[in-house]
Chains A and B, each alone.
Chain A
Amino acid sequence: MIELRNINFRYVKGTEVGGLMDIDLTIPDGQVILLCGQSGCGKTTLTRLVNGLIPHYYEGELRGEVLVDGKNIRELPLYETAKYVGSVFQNPRTQFFTVDSTSELAFGCENQGLPEEEIIERVKATTRQFGMGNLMGKNIFSLSGGEKQKIACASVSVSDPSIIVMDEPSSNLDVSATKDLRRMLRIWKQQGKTVIIAEHRLYYLKELIDRVVYLKDGKIEKDYPAIEALQLSAAQQAEMGLRPFELNMFPVTARPAAGSGFIECENFHFAYPKQKDALTIDRLSLPQTGIIAVIGHNGAGKSTLARCLCGLEKHCKGIVKVDGKPYNRKQRLSLCYMVMQDVNHQLFTESTEEELLISMEQPAPDKAAAVLERLDLLPFRERHPMALSGGQKQRVAIAAALVSGRKILVFDEPTSGLDLQHMKEVADELAAIQEMGKTSLVITHDYELIVSCCTHVLHLEQGTVQEQYALDTEGLGRLKDFFIESR
């Protein structure tokens, strides 16, 4: 049993976000509990209280008591808490410590000093249970995000804690990886483990959760049994700032059709060294001024297509024709622009304005100011880009692309880990870019984003175009087939 008694918490480092106020919560053994609410509502903070990272790793002002099976977390060192509480985090790239998957599974038990034979037995059992023999003995750096997350879950399972805490585990996962995650959750539920999940995407959890706690501004606003929470109407969920439990219920926004022009892509072939072809597309027409969602399973070639399109892959000989003018690889480096999933990689300068100016052939401060205004960034023109929020950083990257006159913008998972509100902001930005006459390609597995703004869908599988359609009534049906029925 987990008891949180009269918890008040504030992070030390200046920010008011993510603190908690007057939290009283008792979680009985074996319950699967969902913590939801908008970004900054304190749900991540709550998970950190249970796994002991607060107060032992993240500093802050903590009042109240957290008891796990009657033991006070504050007095328990982290390596003791680790025996009772396992954690899975949001970012698959930063939660494995060893480099190979087999050692990673054993890592927790090795730290506890369990005998080797027992660890080996446990690793084998978990591998069988989760059906992941194919992932063993691999370099984790070479695995996909979904596979990494599977390793993270399995390594928690090997240590066999009675409580599992998950902080937005599905943020970076595609449809099938999310399905795998749900399967693992089901196994844990059957084993009678207590599972605490803080999450934005809710649809994959609806059959698993027993209880829903809705947080707002650091307080517990609502505490429902799952049955009641699932009956909330679409409008109520939207008002609470929650993504839907039922994807089908999410309102579809009709987008104005794109212009009549087309961008022609020819001869897009690419293979990574010593692997089979990652991309084999002879011909592809993309509607100009469209917002094109690029969907497909892992390894379908979405990122490869994006990289080839942006001219980042030297060995791709593809040609892109815009308004009849052909662009080769090098020319595309200044025709297309990719907004990366981790925007930190593409902000270099000391101020937002300078970021735009270095992107221009001839620095023109008034043009830069106009674009900043358009993207609500004008008040931050003097600020250091790294000091901005995630959404603002993303907009700075977009602004840099716009001032340099790019015609095609590629977005790599722009909404992973975002709540409803922030997802809608991204949708609005995409719409604004469309109005400026640009073409956007959005690699995404966010159904809610697609129906909020996209005009077309490009579905890739195994390096080829499986289907391509406009998001009209018929197209919407096909999209739902991919996201909903295929579950």
Chain B
Amino acid sequence: MDAAPVELKFENKAVIPTDPRTKLFLTVTVSTIMITGGTGGFMNLIRPCLMACPIAFLLLSRRWTAAARFAVTYAVLFVLELTVLPLLTGIWNFILGAAVGIYTHMLPGFIMGYYLVSTTTVSEFVAAMERMHVPQKIVIPVSVVFRFFPTVKEEYAAIRDAMKMRGITTFRSPMKMLEYRVVPLMVSVAKIGEELSAAALTRGLGAPGKRTNICNIGFGPLDIFFFLMAIPCWYGFFI
């Protein structure tokens, strides 16, 4: 099954590649447990453990500074959460609570999601979904969404530049700003979508029968390590 394309070069975004399924599983794990899980007791052990995931992934994708900054800020906030937060009252409790909440509860999930999207190619993702026996009716639309993340980013940057040149800034009226950003974005994304579908159809996307895939995805030691780490976390989360 796993034909090894030794000489065929694929884009290599991480130091050690991880399987898309691992990334998907960890994204779900981290965001669910971090956001909905409480604090205190067993969770004080699980949280730093799960926190290590986004940091490890940032390191794997060679974002050294981002990883260091994130690790330090998280450590500081986590300590504050455990020590100072219970002592504060009123507005200060609210402010620190919000900062800690957003940073330590939501951001890890976002980082995982970002890593998943930015280091997984469409083909790898499709391959992973097919291995999980997800039906084609779901695989194709989801892969299109995957393909669209970088497109929207590119288009959005161009529109931002255009607004800067026109001297249209957020100060004037926030609602108008939103409209000015969203309308051109919708128009160009719709056009790109139409052309993209036409191109994909002329290349036989959607043919019945089994698709093949030359991507070599598969589980390695790193994947097994992450899975072994995530399982006790879920266990702790449920009890």
Contact = CB atoms under 8 A, between A and B. Distances in A.
Interface of A: 51-53, 56-58, 78-79, 81-83, 85-87, 89, 91, 93-103, 106-117, 119-120, 123-124, 136-139, 141, 155, 159, 307, 310-312, 333-334, 336-338, 340, 342, 344-349, 358-359, 386, 400, 404
B134 interface: no
B3 A348 contact: no
Interface stretch (B20-28, B69-77, B203-211): B203-211
B200 A97 contact: yes
Contact of A345 (B162, B196, B213): B162
Contacts, number: 194
B201 to A, nearest CB: 5
Chain B binding surface, main DSSP class: helix
Contacts of B209: 113
A333 B164 contact: yes
Nearest to B191: A344
Report, nearest first, the 10 A-B pairs whose CB atoms are least far apart: A137-B9, A79-B207, A103-B123, A82-B204, A346-B162, A94-B195, A111-B204, A95-B199, A348-B180, A116-B3
B212 A110 contact: yes
Interface of B: 3, 5, 7-12, 121-124, 146-147, 150, 154-155, 158-159, 161-168, 179-180, 183-184, 187-188, 191-192, 195-215
A141 B214 CA distance: 21
A78 B204 contact: yes
A99 B147 contact: yes
A103 B214 contact: yes
Contact of A120 (B8, B122, B208): B8
B162 A106 contact: no
A400 B165 CA distance: 11
Contacts of B124: 103
B213 A53 contact: no
A57 B121 contact: no
A312 to B, nearest CB: 5
A107 B213 CA distance: 8
A379 to B, nearest CB: 22
17 contacts: A79-B206, A79-B207, A82-B201, A99-B122, A99-B146, A103-B122, A110-B211, A111-B205, A114-B212, A120-B214, A124-B8, A139-B11, A311-B164, A337-B165, A338-B165, A340-B158, A386-B187
B43 to A, nearest CB: 37
A89 B198 contact: yes
A108 B204 contact: yes
A97 B199 contact: yes
A107 B166 CA distance: 41
A347 B184 contact: yes
Contacts of B208: 79
A93 B155 CA distance: 11
Nearest to A93: B192
B165 to A, nearest CB: 6
A94 B121 CA distance: 16
A413 B154 CA distance: 18
Nearest to B157: A345
